[in-house]
Chains A and B, each alone.
Chain A
Amino acid sequence: MQEPKGHQHPITQMIDEINHIFAGIGFAFAEGPEAETEHYNFDQLNVPKDHPSRDMQDTFWFQPKDVSEPTVLRTHTSPVQARFLEAQGAPAKIIVPGKVFRNEATDATHEAQFYQLEGLHVDHNVHLGHLKGTLEYFFSQFFSGKTEVRFRPSFFPFVEPGVEVDMRLLEGESKLAGKWIEVMGAGMVHPNVLRAGGVDPEEFSGYAFGMGIDRLGVMKYGVEDVRDFYSGDLRFVNQF
């Protein structure tokens, strides 16, 4: 009575799906280390030296004796933006799905580790309309139904203007259909981030976005507790 085939974890299923959707519109899959230097995790992203997110409460720091420069478990996939721009310059069109870490108490909607999807598109004359169109395309594919996106004002140190992104599935049977749902933060890449990556903000502009893949899973599959993703429990995994 052995089931003939094993079950793929929903997170890696989603990453594979995300990769195929974005590859279809020219985004390359990029990656970076999970043990990331303070330089890339914060400095290069225009996070001020005294920003609260650097505080011990939010970030896991490695001990100085184990590292040659201040190093953290990356708190977001955004450092790969900085690394990619520095290594390859503009134009850049990448997604970065990967594991990230936050040093905070866990509950049904928070885990100390989770997966994030970063997107970056830098080129001549890239603007917020491109961001909106790209996200609408992605969500429509990912949730298998026409989806619209709207922006609201927001703030993140590495973008200016910064926006909060809401999505609404316009069709289909899904519980999500018809409701505006807040899904992620995004914006136009801050000129300091472009400059830190060696890209001239006078010549290039770009957008960046970052969303939780776990949260996409909550929406896509109806998972109620994000900790289930990392429980190693086959009663969970084998439903996928």
Chain B
Amino acid sequence: MKVNYAWLKDYVGDVLPDTGEVTRLLTEHAFEIDGVETVGNHAVIDVDVLPNRSSDCLCHRGVARELATILNTDLKYDPFQVTPNLAATDKIKVTIADMQACSRFTAALITGVEVKESPGWLKERLESLGQRSINNIVDATNYVMYAIGQPLHAYDADLFPMVDGAWQFGVRFATAGEIVEILPEGGSTEPRQVECIGTELLIIDESSNTPIGLAGVKGGQYAGVHAGTTNIIIEAAHFHPTITRKTARRLGIVIDASKRFENELSRDLPPYAQHEIIKLIEDIAGGEYEGTLDVYAEKKSNPAVPVRVAKTNTLLGLALSQAAIAEIIARTGSTVTELEPGVLSCTGPWERTDLLIEEDFIEEVGRLHGLLNIVSVVPEKATVTEVNSRQYYSEKIRQVLLAEGFSEVITSSFQNKDQIQLQNALASDKSYVRSSLYPNITAVLDANFAHTDLLGLCAVQVFEIGTVFDGADSGVSEHVALAIGVRQKGNGYTQKDDVLLESACVAVADALGATIEWMSKQGVAEANITKVINDLPVPTSYEPAVERLTTTYSAVSPYPAIARDIALWTGADFEAERVAAILKEAAGSLCVRIDLFDTFEKDERTSYAFRLVFQSNERTLTDNEVGGIMNTVTEVATQKGWEVR
């Protein structure tokens, strides 16, 4: 929610601190601030209003009220101070088919207005929030929404048929297949045709049963305000949040109005909005207010909630007095009385629909008193008596396989094709859940073989422990699987892989002291570990913590690596590490690793064979370039008196 600082000041008054302090206060006590920017001459604060406060704080008055509460002051100007007293009219009628869906409907008639450009101050304020000015009437509806949170819609009364002496509105659910034309969106100039499925609530012209808008979501062009409009009807209503939300989501129309309705605005709000807009329109468009229709069918008011001093302090870890708690809650505009010593009766202000249970008020106390005042309680050392078998044995399996030279991977739980398809996966290539780790491990073996030089490996040896899903008669079932994979040749599986695989499987079974049923094919063995663990004794304590290295990860170069071998005779007094260090230095910074892969001694001389791997983080290296570096390496070796073979 973008909040114009000067607008806030209209409500809060001169006690409003600067934007930096406003940011700090809101961050500590209410909402995260996404940023502060300057638009024209206006400072604009982007306030991330929490979902439970979207009912009252998606508007300037709400954020101003919140700041006044934090600052422990009253609003200088509060549009909610006086309950509006709106003259009635019988020229507007409404038929509401479902009072739960539309609990309140108000419509005000103003005649003789002049549609024109909005005054500069209004245009500037709307523009500071990123809203384009349209004309004074439409701007007024938007202004009041940003001011106090109630969405409104304006109609040209002369384009809306008057039947039996009244303008006849209706609110009903759509029928399946019914088409509603709504205002153009997303830069389009054409109205959008929406086909209803029957769950949408519609505003209609009751006299002809014509849909004129999706209630709470988006209006239509029916009886739209235009340059020549003189008589207008302003609608402000309360629609059911869930119905609004579902329609808005289904049609992808999440706009300022629907966002507010779907967050359960107060049912008391529409008359205040009418009061505000009537004043504003008379001011900027002239005309005469004739009267308002107000049908309030389903009343709802805030409950009186008992709030205990002891409970408040128990949850917050504080020791506040009853008086202090009462004072903080009263600052929110709530009514607070003492029910009995130690128990307060609290009723939230009408515009807040989120203060319903004791804990809601306790939260108010916590954040307004200041969450920074919560004092840490250092936990006591203790031992757990319950050891998780899956974690214990999984960790055991990991340590065994790591010792055997296997590295652990975690792969996607999704598959392109498998047994069980999800209803609604976003990505089409991951619409199934895996029933086996085999395909992923095979893919990991394939993908990693190219990197063996870079990694200093002669084979790819990996394992994964992860959940897989089976289809069963009783529904989806899941178990933890272990898969181990070996690949020694670049062109795929060879029978030699099974030797390494077999020894890894045996090592796991030995370490667990279990018989494991392996499914083995093409260098990958997989087992149901849940089944294995279920038959093992429940451990009584975890193994001591493994010493872990502090690792700082460096991003993998996206460019391929090139490997070159060099074999040379050195004197017997040269150790391999020293030789490697000299060669690596000669090879320069593009040499990312050097590995000794062969050694033999003859006639007091030693032959070493090294593999040097080259890679750049910026480009693909050429054979020529690496050849040049290898020439330098050879020269350096020769200067040392070594004989390059």
Contacts and interface: CB of A to CB of B under 8 A. Distances in A.
Interface of A: 1-13, 15-17, 19-20, 23-31, 33-35, 49-50, 52, 55-57, 60-64, 66-68, 71, 73, 99, 101, 103-106, 112-113, 125, 127-130, 132-134, 136-137, 144, 149-155, 160-164, 188, 190-191, 205, 221-225, 228-230, 232-240
5 contacts: A10-B551, A25-B382, A162-B363, A205-B315, A237-B407
B420 A62 contact: yes
A1 B452 CA distance: 11
Contact of B408 (A6, A144, A164, A222): A6
Which 5 A-B residue pairings sit nearest by Cβ, starting from the closest?
A26-B382, A129-B317, A127-B317, A161-B363, A29-B388
B496 interface: no
B376 A129 contact: yes
Contacts of B303: none
Interface string B461-495: 11001110101001110100000000000000000
Given A3-B457, A35-B476, A232 B553 contact: no
B598 to A, nearest CB: 9
B433 A73 contact: yes
Contacts of A33: 478
Nearest to A148: B376
Contact of B367 (A11, A68, A153): A153
B423 A63 contact: yes
Contacts of B245: 50, 52
A130 B32 contact: no
A201 to B, nearest CB: 9
B554 interface: yes
Nearest to A134: B379
B159 interface: no
B404 interface: yes
Scoring A63, A99, A127, A240 by chain B CB atoms within 10 A of each residue's CB, the highest score goes to: A127
Given A7-B408, A149-B376, A222-B552, A60 B30 contact: no
Contacts of A99: 413, 466-467
Scoring A1, A23, A160 by chain B CB atoms within 10 A of each residue's CB, the highest score goes to: A1
B242 A50 contact: yes
Given A132-B376, A154-B50, A232-B447, 9 more contacts: A8-B402, A9-B407, A33-B478, A56-B423, A66-B420, A127-B317, A155-B52, A228-B556, A239-B553
B382 A66 contact: no
Interface of B: 27-32, 50-53, 241-242, 245-246, 249, 314-317, 357, 359-360, 362-363, 366-367, 371-372, 374-388, 390-391, 394-395, 398, 401-414, 420-427, 430, 433, 440, 443-444, 447-448, 451, 454-462, 465-467, 469, 471, 474-476, 478, 542, 545-546, 548-556, 595-597, 611
A202 to B, nearest CB: 9
B425 A17 contact: no
Contact of B391 (A19, A50, A234): A19
Contacts of B469: 34-35
B511 to A, nearest CB: 15
B411 to A, nearest CB: 5
Contacts of B362: 160-161
Contacts of A237: 407-409
Given A6-B408, A151-B372, A130 B379 contact: yes
A209 B467 CA distance: 24
Contact of A232 (B241, B425, B443): B443
A160 B362 CA distance: 8
A19 B549 CA distance: 17
Contacts of B611: 1
A101 B410 CA distance: 14
Contacts of B471: 66
Contact of A1 (B376, B466, B475, B595): B595
A5 B403 contact: yes
B523 to A, nearest CB: 15
A27 B440 CA distance: 34
B54 to A, nearest CB: 10
A1 B388 contact: no
Contacts of B413: 34, 73, 99, 101, 113
Given A17-B548, A129-B317, A6 B406 contact: yes
A129 B542 CA distance: 29
A222 B405 CA distance: 25
Scoring B242, B423, B447 by chain A CB atoms within 10 A of each residue's CB, the highest score goes to: B423
A126 B403 CA distance: 43
A174 B51 CA distance: 35
Nearest to A111: B412
A138 B459 CA distance: 38
Contact of B27 (A152, A162, A239): A152
Contacts of B28: 152
B448 A232 contact: yes
Contacts of A191: 357, 359
A26 B384 contact: yes
Contacts of A73: 413, 422, 433
A136 B420 contact: no
Contacts of A134: 379
A9 B50 CA distance: 36
B408 A12 contact: yes
A50 B248 CA distance: 13
A10 to B, nearest CB: 8
Contacts of B448: 232-234
Contacts of A151: 371-372, 374
Given A35-B469, A152-B32, A232-B443, A17 B408 contact: no
A173 B422 CA distance: 46
Scoring A17, A134, A155, A222 by chain B CB atoms within 10 A of each residue's CB, the highest score goes to: A155
Contacts of A132: 374-377
B366 A238 contact: no
Given A1-B458, A151-B374, A71 B476 contact: yes
A204 to B, nearest CB: 10
B315 A62 contact: no
A14 B422 CA distance: 30
B367 A5 contact: no
